């Protein structure tokens, strides 16, 4: 009987979900805090972890990082609200298996759990991909055409490429297409998420180690550079790579040599490096968070992937593709979307980009009762989405402030100060965490603390 660790600070919700899962023949242990969940994970083994994103002592990203230190094998499913979609997508890149939205749908939850357990049971596959094995949907927008043109131009070369774009825009797909169209297409394609690597693990993961390099190193370990020999190494979320490891990466790129931890000899490598980021690396360089020499070494060519909301005409195209995928996975025969559902998909702003669209479509196909997806099968956040007109936004905004105050700069500054104060209180004045949740770097946060005379 598969064993699930359920982490949620709502006892009533835990009781309800635990009962449901037990009726589906799962053994369930519950924890009401992240630390309690980690304690149970250290004490016993689980087949799957199902956790709320917002917990009283940790957020989902922090918890996920600590889970991955304890185990790399157990799949983690996040439960989140639509307000956290961007962060949920980031969690997927850090190693979470999937996310489901609250209020949860029992059938959807059961499907995701079964898929996670089935994936865990699969034998590990080779990192290499063969030409023609990758399914890739080409958009019809002008932006999509430009991306394809860039791919065809840079793929046959050995140039290093930086692929920029929001989380969920398909940066890894672009990297795989570059590999498939390159002269290295019959060699390995190895992808690694730098955001999931701690400072302690990054060096050994990238470059490997020799037996006896540290306590617990009982045999030699192959690094990802070695695994990608002759092929392509894709470094996702390169901006999250620890600064100390950036130095070693630069040397590997410049000298085409790597040295395993604990070794005294260098090893030649022939690897093309593609890097992806959802951050502004130029700003990261200016803030001293990313090495300028490494940035220029990687930035021999750059491809910007636009957000889904900026790609006119591509939403329905991708939705149809994901619908066919869902039909195959769920053994259903849904033919498409009715007019109202299609309009809702086009109107929504898709903060989670392609990953969010894929999940929404799969859920809709699962729930569909007829040949077409209707509004009834779409989440209410999408059905009811309506961008506020500028005039309405202005009225509702100024109604919350002093009617005599018309200095827009002062109003914005006061609201920004209040937001920063609220966030600091929420994270117990952890400035690094506050900066991350506010989507700004620490230096910017420190400058704003000084500007607004906030003392902590």
Q: pLDDT digit string (tens) for 388-440?
A: 554 443 333 344 445 444 555 566 677 778 788 878 777 777 777 777 777 77
Identify the residue with better confidence: 218 or 220.
220
Q: Within a 10 A sphere around the Cβ of 409, how many other Cβ atoms?
A: 7
292 sits in the region (left: phi over 0; alpha: psi -120 to 50; else beta) called: alpha
Beta-sheet pairing, 76-80 with 48-52 = parallel
Report pLDDT digits (tens) over 33-57.
999 999 999 889 999 999 998 888 8
pTM of this structure: 0.60
Structure tokens at 62: 């922090």
Q: The domain 402-451: what is its CATH number? A: 1.10.10
Pick the range with the lowest mean pLDDT from 16-25, 238-247, 432-441: 432-441
Beta strands in 84-236 (DSSP E): 98-101, 161-164, 189-193, 208-209, 221-222, 232-236
Report pLDDT digits (tens) over 180-194.
999 999 999 998 888
pLDDT at 315 over 50: yes
Instruction: Give the torsion through C-alpha atoms of 77, 78, 82, 84, to 10 deg.
Output: -140
Cα distances (angstroms) measured from residue 444 to each of 116, 165, 438, 454? 39, 22, 10, 14
Q: The domain 312-383: what is its CATH number? A: 1.10.8.60
Q: Chain-wide mean pLDDT for the chain?
A: 82
Q: Do domains 3-121 and 312-383 have the same CATH topology?
A: no
Report pLDDT digits (tens) over 191-202.
888 877 766 677
pLDDT of 407 reads 56
Domains of the chain, by residue range, sit at 3-121, 142-304, 312-383, 402-451
How far is the C-alpha of 456 from the C-alpha of 437, rounded, in Å? 18
Beta-sheet pairing, 189-193 with 232-236 = parallel
pLDDT of 129 reads 33
345: exposed, middle or buried (Cβ count in 10 Å: 0-12, 13-18, 19+):
buried
Q: The domain 3-121: what is its CATH number? A: 3.40.50.2300
CATH 3.40.50.12780 for domain 142-304, yes or no, is no
């Amino acid at each position: 009987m598969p064993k699930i660790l359920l982490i949620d600070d709502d006892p009533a919700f835990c009781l309800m979900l635990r009962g449901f899962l037990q009726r589906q023949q799962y053994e369930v242990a519950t924890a009401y805090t992240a630390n309690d969940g980690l304690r149970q994970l250290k004490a016993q083994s689980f087949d799957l972890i199902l956790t709320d994103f917002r917990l009283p002592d940790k957020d989902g990203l922090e918890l996920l990082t600590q889970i991955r230190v304890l185990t790399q094998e157990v799949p983690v499913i996040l439960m989140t609200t639509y307000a956290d979609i961007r962060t949920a997508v980031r969690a997927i890149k850090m190693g979470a298996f999937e996310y489901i939205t609250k209020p949860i749908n029992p059938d959807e939850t059961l499907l995701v759990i079964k898929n996670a357990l089935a994936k865990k049971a699969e034998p590990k596959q080779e990192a290499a991909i063969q030409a023609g094995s990758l399914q890739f949907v080409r958009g019809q927008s002008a932006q999509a055409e430009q991306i394809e043109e860039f791919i065809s131009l840079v793929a046959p070369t050995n140039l290093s490429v930086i692929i920029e774009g929001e989380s969920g825009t398909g940066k890894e797909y672009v990297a795989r297409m570059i590999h498939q169209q390159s002269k290295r297409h019959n060699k390995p394609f190895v992808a690694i998420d730098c955001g999931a690597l701690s400072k302690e693990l990054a060096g050994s993961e990238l470059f490997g180690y020799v037996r006896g390099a540290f306590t617990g190193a009982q045999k030699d370990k192959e690094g990802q550079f070695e695994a990608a020999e002759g092929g392509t190494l894709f470094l996702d979320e390169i901006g999250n790579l620890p600064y100390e490891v950036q130095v070693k990466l630069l040397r590997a790129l410049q000298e085409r040599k790597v040295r395993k931890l604990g070794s005294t000899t260098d090893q030649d490598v022939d690897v093309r490096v593609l890097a992806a980021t959802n951050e502004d690396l130029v700003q990261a360089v200016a803030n001293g968070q990313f090495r300028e020499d490494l940035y220029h070494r990687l930035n021999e060519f750059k491809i910007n992937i636009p957000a889904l909301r900026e790609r006119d005409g591509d939403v329905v195209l991708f939705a149809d593709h994901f619908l066919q995928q869902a039909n195959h996975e769920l053994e259903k025969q849904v033919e498409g979307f009715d007019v109202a559902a299609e309009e809702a998909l086009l109107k929504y702003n898709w903060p989670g980009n392609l990953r969010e669209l894929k999940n929404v479509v799969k859920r809709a196909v699962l729930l569909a009762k007829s040949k077409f997806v209707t509004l009834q099968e779409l989440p209410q956040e999408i059905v009811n989405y309506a961008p506020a007109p500028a005039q309405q936004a202005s009225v509702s905004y100024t109604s919350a402030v002093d009617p005599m105050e018309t200095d827009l700069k002062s109003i914005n500054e006061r609201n920004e100060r209040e937001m920063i104060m609220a966030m600091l209180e929420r994270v117990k004045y952890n400035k690094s965490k506050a900066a991350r949740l506010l989507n700004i770097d620490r230096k910017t946060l420190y400058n704003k603390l000084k500007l607004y005379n906030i003392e902590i």
